[in-house]
Chain A
Amino acid sequence: MKKNLQRLDLIFKNEHDTEAILRKTLDRSHDEVINDLISSGLKGRGGAGFPTGLKWKLAAEAQAEQKYVICNADEGEPGTFKDREILSSVPHKVLTGMAVCANIIGSTKGFIYLRSEYKFLKPQLLSVIDEFHKLLEVLNINFKVDIFMGSGAYICGEESALFESMEGKRGEPRNKPPFPTDFGYMGEPTVINNVETLAHTYSILKYGADKFKDLGIQDSRGSKVFSVSGDTPNPGIYELEFGMSLQKFVDDFGDGDSKAVQVGGASGFCVPRKKFVKTVIGYQGKLRGTSLPTGGSMMIFNSSRSMYNVLHNYLDFFVEESCGQCTPCRVGTQQLLLGIQAVKKGEQPSSYLDKLLVLAEAMRVTSKCGLGQSVANSFSSIVENFKEEMIY
């Protein structure tokens, strides 16, 4: 490692307090635990940023015989690989979070929806789950966790498409409402959390909400695990505090020639050099416009990179990974890709890019799910900031 990087060590800290945490939680009222989570400010680490405590609260209030807790380990965003590491090194933290959640909402059944490409993790995970089940038995907690293997579609990381996939149907997002806390897997109330989110609940339960809240800024509390890739001498997984400016990030991780950073993968935003100073990593909230959310993917591009190629690559990805059911996403992604190709080849005038920007905005406001809605993020930020690279 070139520099002495400042790295937090919460999630990956080697600690094994599952039993103590579960015992402590069983002694507390459900409201207390939920309020703790709410006051910690923990938000979903998959990228969408829904407040975790509120999600659990809604599911706890839902009336149903059977409820489910699902860990979303369908980590498919290009440039993201942090959930793999969490599940490899601290899976018991994730399971602890699931069990606490199950206890609070009144669920006896949990699943880890594991990305197809991570099947090498399965044997190891299964043996951890076995041990975990034994502990739950001792504690008299009726909760079982199974692994459900995905089949490789990016869209199945979208929660409602994930349920459809688990139910044996095409992985296609559902209309919302109803939301998962009312109508999730098998139509029952379901809490679905990202791997990292669940791991964070372990830390909050152990160290308390205040400790967690001390980290980060405003609407973005706690730490975040980042997957750093691209033109960096230090690729890898880093747990960093929320609220860091992109300039600081580039100073730490860049190779000295960083031209742009793609924050949040193919569905995230591209930030050019001139905006590094003003951009902060965190959920969009009061800081909208300069605060950028991310599921953890941070891709750094130096001046040797063609941003046309970068965008082309993302669009190739979306054209293939759109589920295809809704018009703006299915057809829009194809049009964006063909459109930039046509401009590049001179078959369409450069003004065609403006038409494409209008299209991207329409896709953002009309698409059925997060996939189609977020194509505009990378498209518009790359086209607007690197227009000349699109044309020449």
Chain B
Amino acid sequence: MSDKVNLKIDNIAVSIKNGSTILEAAEKINVRIPTLCYHEDLCVAGNCRICVVEQTGSDRLLPACAMPVSEGMEIHTNSMKVRNARKQIVELLVSEHRADCTRCYKNGKCELQELSSEYIVGENGFIDLVAHKGYTIDNFSPSIIKDDSKCIRCQRCVRTCDQLQSISALTVAHKGESMKVSSFFDKPMFEVVCTNCGQCVNRCPTGALTEKTYLDEVWTALNSETKHTVVQTAPAVRIALGEALGMPVGEIVTGKMVSALRRLGFSSVLDTDFTADLTIIEEGNELLHRLKKVVKDKDTTVRLPLTTSCSPGWVKFIEHAFPEYLPNVSTAKSPQQMFGALAKTFYANKLKVDPENMVSISIMPCTAKKYEADRPEMRSSGFKDVDYVLTTRELALMIKQAGIDFASLPDDEYDSIMGESSGAAVIFGATGGVMEAALRTAYEVVTGREVPFEGLNITPVRGMDYIREATIKIENVLPEWDFLEGVELKTCVAHGLSNAKKVMEAVRDGKANYHFIEIMACPGGCLGGGGQPIPTSPAIRKKRSEAIYHEDELKPIRKSHENPEVIHLYEEFLKEPLGEVSHKLLHTHYTERNRY
């Protein structure tokens, strides 16, 4: 059989690889077929039926997303029958959707709204089904709001939670008119295995799943005379914020973002990248400390592999799914929380601001960070270390509300003391970045030389493969690290929790013998986080990733341990990595949680 199939779509000839779908064939010749349940990242469901097309000679319409092409097919995407059917589908969806668009958080960004305007769903629609269904809104989670009355049952969230994250916190329950997206025993998202990763939010076509917003709280703080507002921005925000403000994907907008934050009125505009560098120092030393205990001291109580702890979705996942491996998780807090703890201690003291009057706000590509900031452990400054977490999307909204023309803003610089960062910190935003940053530092600590990769680019840990392994042989070490001479450091990088699960199962079953594992809950790492601009796709994440590595190349300092502000912080305040102050402010512990 030939590997190419020839068909006609709207009388245009197209030749495409055997096994492709009608939708893919149509894309190839720029014929747009509307979709709703379809998402590039997910398996095909074929359940919304909006993508139906007509095949000459076939009575029933075919779902373009699910139907493979066949030789000689004649497809019509815009026949009377197709248009009428699509209009019926849109009208049906609107009838089961609480369509109070002007009050909806997703107003203007809703895919159903777009379709209903395209197909002119007027006053003569079907009977409203929402009224007698008795929906309630689940807003107990600090991260995610689930409003079933806006759900159109496309199951993108269900497939995301199962396929990408292997969590299945969201799943389908009941059938017929009662069929709904539900959780274990229909409990609130807050009480089930949900990791707050927000990947479902990124893929929900309507306002059924949204982040919980803290915009009002932040505006209130900004307008308060007595409050000192400190804002930090995560590495992955600067390469995606532009998308939400009409700029092309992959544009680096660090300087404009800093300008905008000043214009919004934040008292101190600082950088999470600073504490990303700090995380590398603490976590890198923790790795070396553990290696010493295991390799030299033969201490059987110390656990390897060490896993990263920056991704709060991953942390909650391991607390639920592999609690027996909690001692393997680095005790180092995430950069966000290190920042929060230092802001209300070290930084407040420097500025002579009463930490009680300080409001600490972070801009994150993440919805799980909202949950992380709420964890009871995250109060080591004596206050809530991070008061409010906003997503990249929420920051974009603030900028719009303030009437700022983002694209025309001049570039500006972060404030000092906690604003300086290295390229190693920037790449935290991409999968493999923490690993690369940690290796740049740890290798140099042990050998006194830079990592043996051209331009410090540790390419084996980069890329978008779901699970990547790299081994680095440690040779010609400094005398105090002689026990590591010749050791092959085995590392593993995984992104997306379904891949994290595979890695942890391999570790559990003795099939993998790693020293250090980096895991990011979201596909692509933080650049594909649940708080990033919508939509997301492999192509978008690839562009964001290129931007991140480009930003790294542009940085004069590429290694965390060379960040002068970090060096200064140790000299003046922390004294030494893993020291007493670090232990109090920068490290944490974890909690075993239920499996369901």
Chain A: residues with CB nearer than 8 A to chain B?
153, 155, 170, 175, 177, 318-328, 330-335, 338-339, 342, 348, 355, 358-359, 362-368, 373
Contacts and interface: CB of A to CB of B under 8 A. Distances in A.
B199 to A, nearest CB: 21
Contact of B92 (A170, A328, A373): A328
B63 A365 contact: no
Contacts of B46: 175, 326, 368
Interface stretch (B47-55, B227-235, B492-500): B47-55
A197 to B, nearest CB: 23
**Residue of A319, A331, A368 most packed against chain B (CB within 10 A):** A331
B176 A320 contact: yes
A360 to B, nearest CB: 10
Contacts of A359: 88, 92, 126
A324 B153 CA distance: 8
A319 B176 contact: yes
A366 B90 CA distance: 12
Contacts of A342: 127
Contacts of A367: 49
A324 B85 contact: no
A365 B55 CA distance: 12
Given A333-B177, A335-B92, A365-B81, 6 more contacts: A177-B67, A326-B46, A331-B92, A348-B127, A358-B88, A366-B88
A331 B96 contact: yes
B172 interface: yes
B503 interface: no
25 contacts: A319-B177, A320-B176, A320-B177, A323-B175, A323-B179, A324-B172, A324-B178, A324-B179, A325-B47, A325-B153, A326-B48, A327-B89, A327-B92, A328-B89, A330-B179, A332-B88, A333-B176, A334-B177, A335-B129, A355-B124, A358-B88, A359-B126, A365-B60, A366-B89, A368-B49
A173 to B, nearest CB: 10
B95 interface: yes
B176 A322 contact: yes
A326 B52 CA distance: 12
Nearest to A322: B176
A327 B47 contact: yes
A146 B446 CA distance: 64
A334 B126 CA distance: 10
A321 to B, nearest CB: 6
Nearest to B36: A327
Contacts of B172: 170, 324-325
A367 B46 CA distance: 10
B93 interface: yes
B44 interface: yes
Nearest to B173: A170
A153 B47 contact: no
A50 to B, nearest CB: 15
Nearest to B59: A365
Contact of A330 (B44, B50, B153): B153
Contacts of A365: 52, 59-61, 81, 85
A368 B96 CA distance: 19
Interface residues of B, number: 38
A327 B85 contact: no
B375 interface: no
Nearest to B152: A327
A155 B175 CA distance: 10
Contacts of A326: 46-49
A95 B172 CA distance: 36
A342 B60 CA distance: 29
3 A-B pairs with least C-beta separation: A324-B179, A362-B88, A331-B92
A355 B125 CA distance: 9
A98 B46 CA distance: 32
A366 B175 contact: no
A364 B93 contact: no
A324 B177 CA distance: 7
Contacts of B95: 331, 335
A358 B516 CA distance: 61
Nearest to B46: A175
A373 B88 contact: no
B47 A366 contact: no
A327 B93 contact: yes
A315 B58 CA distance: 27
A177 B19 CA distance: 11
Contacts of A333: 176-177
A326 B45 CA distance: 9
Contacts of A334: 96, 129, 177
A335 B126 contact: yes
Contact of B84 (A338, A362, A363, A373): A362
B173 to A, nearest CB: 9
Interface string B240-260: 000000000000000000000
B66 interface: yes
Interface string B36-79: 00000000111111101000000111010011100000000000
B165 interface: no
B155 interface: yes
**Residue of B68, B89, B176, B178 most packed against chain A (CB within 10 A):** B176
Interface string B81-120: 1001100110011011000000000000000000000000
Contacts of A322: 175-177, 179
Nearest to B96: A331
Given A175-B66, A325-B47, A332-B92, A366 B155 contact: no
A230 B61 CA distance: 35
Contacts of B88: 328, 332, 358-359, 362-363, 366
Given A334-B129, A362-B85, A321 B175 contact: yes
Contact of A373 (B48, B60, B67): B60
Contacts of B60: 364-366, 373
B174 interface: yes
Contacts of B68: 177
Contact of B175 (A153, A327, A331, A362): A153
Contacts of A363: 88
A95 B415 CA distance: 81
Contacts of A153: 175
A325 B176 contact: no
Nearest to A326: B47
Contacts of A364: 60
Contacts of B44: 175
A245 B88 CA distance: 36
A331 B50 CA distance: 13
A155 B179 CA distance: 13
B34 to A, nearest CB: 13
A319 B61 CA distance: 22
Contacts of B89: 327-328, 362, 366
B66 A330 contact: no
B473 to A, nearest CB: 43
A332 to B, nearest CB: 6
Contacts of A348: 127
A363 B88 CA distance: 9
B176 A175 contact: no
A177 B69 CA distance: 11
**Residue of B44, B46, B93, B129 most packed against chain A (CB within 10 A):** B46
Contacts of B59: 365
B417 to A, nearest CB: 55
Nearest to A359: B88
Contacts of A358: 84, 88
B63 A175 contact: yes
A339 B127 contact: yes
